[in-house]
Structure 1
C-alpha cells in the first residue's frame, strides 16, 4: 500500500465547480478551510470555468471542447485538483478524453491531468490518508450517496468513514440510500414528473430516519432533495459533506 503523501508537499488546486460558485459558495469555502486545517496549501485558479458536463450530457460535444482545453490549461501544473463534487469529477475523469478524441495533443494532456482530479472524500482518505479530520457536528445526520459518486467514480464508503469519525455526530442509515434522488441534471427538466416522484421517495426516506440534516457530496442532488423537503416544511436541512467536515467546536457549521 502506498504511503500517504504529506499535505505540505503537494501543490493543490481547488476546482470549485460552476454550480457551487453560483449557488453554493459556502461549500468551496468550507473545502479550503478543511484542507488548510489539515496542512494543505490550496490555490484557487481564477481562470477556471465549467467542466463542460452540461454540454456533454445533452449532446453538444463540440461546445464542451473549449472547456476541456481550458481545464487542462488551468489545472495542468498542479499535483492534485480537489473538487467538492462527484458529478464534476466524474465528468473530468470519464468524459474529457471522449470529448478530446481526434486531437492527440489534447488527449495526451487529458490523460496527464484527469488522474490528478479528486473528489473531496477520495483526496482525504486516499491521498492524505486521514479519516478523522478533527470535525465536530453534534446533530442527527443521514447520508445520501449521489449517483455519479457512487457509480461513476466509485467513492464507496469513503464519505461514511469520514462522517463516522466526526465527534458528536449521530449518523443514521438512509433507507434506499443507493436509489437515485431524481435530479440527474437535465433529467429533472426533461422528465419533471418522474423526477419529482423519485425525489419524493428520497425525501420520505430521509424523514423516516428522524435526521436533522441530510448530507451528500453533490449540491446538485441536495438542491433537488432540499427543495422537496422545504416544500413539505419538514425542517430537515441539507448540507454538503465539506461543510460538516469543516465544522469544529470553535467554528461550528
Structure 2
C-alpha cells in the first residue's frame, strides 16, 4: 500500500496521525468561514447550501471565499507532495482570516487539522499558520453539536436511516460520534446499525482508480450491508463516499440511495419535504 500512495515522494516522512484529542470548544461565534470542499462544489452543491442554511439558522453569518479550492488531500495521499503543498499553501492564504472554519466533510477537515503538519514539516515558518488553522477547523456536525449546541424540533415523518462515516473522518475527527449524537436529537429518526459501518466504502480517492477490482468488492459489501440494514436511506457527512456509494447503487440498479447529512438535517428541522 505504501508504494501505491507514496511512490511519487519516496523521501517524504509520513507519520500516521493520532486520534483526535479532546478539545476545548469556544463559545458560538457570530461569523464563520465555510470550506465547501471540491466534491460538494462539483457534485452536491445543494448540500453545501444546506450546510450554510444550518449555520445561518443558528444566527451565524457565513463567509464563502470564492478563491477556495481543494484542500490538497488527493495529491498528498497519492504521493505528489510538491503539488499538494502548492494547493495547501493557497488554502492557508484564503482561510487566513481568524474565523472558525467549518467543513462539511470529515476527511477535508482532517487534512487541515492533522496532515498539514506533515505537508509543511520542513517549513517551520509556515507551521505557526498551520497550527492556527488547525485550532480553528471544525467538521460541520462537530460544530453544530459542540459549538452551537443545537436543540432541534424534528418536523419530518418517522423514518429509519443508516449512517456511513468515511474511514479518515472516523479516525481523524470522530465524525461518526458527532453524527450519531446529532441524529439522536431527532425524535422521529431511528438510526439502524449495519455490520459494515466501520469499514471503508472502497473509494479512497485514487485507490478506486488504481485498484478498481478491490474497490468494487469493498463497495459491494458496503452497499449490501446498507440495504440489508432495513433503513430507508443512508446519510453521510462525506461527499467522496456518497459519490462512490450512490454510483455503485446506481450501477446495481438499486432504488436505495444515500444523501449528505447536511441536507437530511436541514429537511428535518426546516420541514421542507415533510408531507
TM-score for both structures, normalised by structure 2? 0.85
Q: What is the SS of the residue equivalent to 2:175?
A: coil
Q: Please give the alpha-carbon distance, in whole angstroms, between the structure 2 residues aligned to 1:127 and 1:67.
A: 29
Asked if the contact 2:161/2:232 (under 8 Å) is kept, the reply is yes
Matching of residue 5 in structure 1 with residue 27 in structure 2: yes
- Note if contact 1:135-1:244 (Cα within 8 Å) is conserved in structure 2: no
Closer/same/farther in 2, CA of residues 115 and 172 from structure 1, 3 Å limit: same
Give unmatched runs, 5+ long, in structure 2.
1-22
Superposed CA offset, 1:26-70 (max 9, x none): 111010001111111111111111111111011111111222221
The answer to whether 1:251 aligns with 2:272 is: yes
Distance 1:197 1:143, change over 3 A: same
Question: Which residue matches 1:204?
Answer: 224
> What is the rounded CA distance, in whole Å, between the counterparts of 2:169 and 2:24 in structure 1?
23
For residues 146 and 36 of structure 1, the distance between their equivalents in structure 2, rounded to whole angstroms, comes to: 26
- Confirm whether residue 181 of structure 1 aligns to residue 201 of structure 2: yes
Task: Specify the SS of the correspondent of 2:224.
Answer: helix
1:152 Cα deviation from its structure 2 partner: 2.0
Q: Structure 2 CA distance, aligned partners of 1:4 and 1:104?
A: 27
User: Could you list the runs of 5+ residues in structure 1 that have no partner in the other structure?
Assistant: none
My pick for the range that moved more, 87-96 or 168-177, is 168-177
Q: Report the Cα distance in structure 1 between the residues aligned to 2:135 and 2:103, rounded to whole angstroms.
A: 13
Moved over 3 A (4+): 1-4, 132-137
1:68 aligns with 2:95: no
Give per-residue Cα distances to partners, 1:6-29, cap 9 Å, x unaligned: 3xx332000001111111111110
Does 1:127 find its partner at 2:127? no
* CA contact 1:13–1:78 (8 Å) conserved in 2: no
1:142 corresponding residue in structure 2: 162
- The more displaced of 29-38 and 173-182 is 173-182
How far does the alpha carbon of each residue in 1:78-128 deviate from its partner, in whole angstroms, 9 at most, with x for none? Answer: 321001111111111122121112222211111111221111111112222
Aligned to 2:97: 77
| Alpha carbons of structure 1 residues 105 and 135: separation in structure 2 relative to 1, 3 Å | farther
1:117 is aligned to 137
- Following TM superposition, by how much is the alpha carbon of 1:215 offset from its aligned partner in structure 2, in angstroms? 0.7
Residues 252 and 5 from structure 1, CA distance in 2 versus in 1: closer, same or farther, beyond 3 angstroms? Answer: farther
Contact 1:174 1:205 in 2 (8 A): yes
CA-atom RMSD in angstroms: 1.9
Matched residue, 2:4 = none
What is the distance in 1 between the residues matched to 2:108 and 2:206?
14
- State the match for 1:54 in structure 2: 74
2:26 and 2:83 map into 1 onto residues whose CA distance is 38
Aligned residues: 250
- Is this contact kept in 2: 1:137–1:167, CA < 8 A? no
Contact 1:38–1:133, Cα closer than 8 Å, also in 2: no
Q: Which residue of 1 aligns with 2:40?
A: 20
Q: What secondary structure is seen at the aligned counterpart in 2 of 1:157?
A: helix
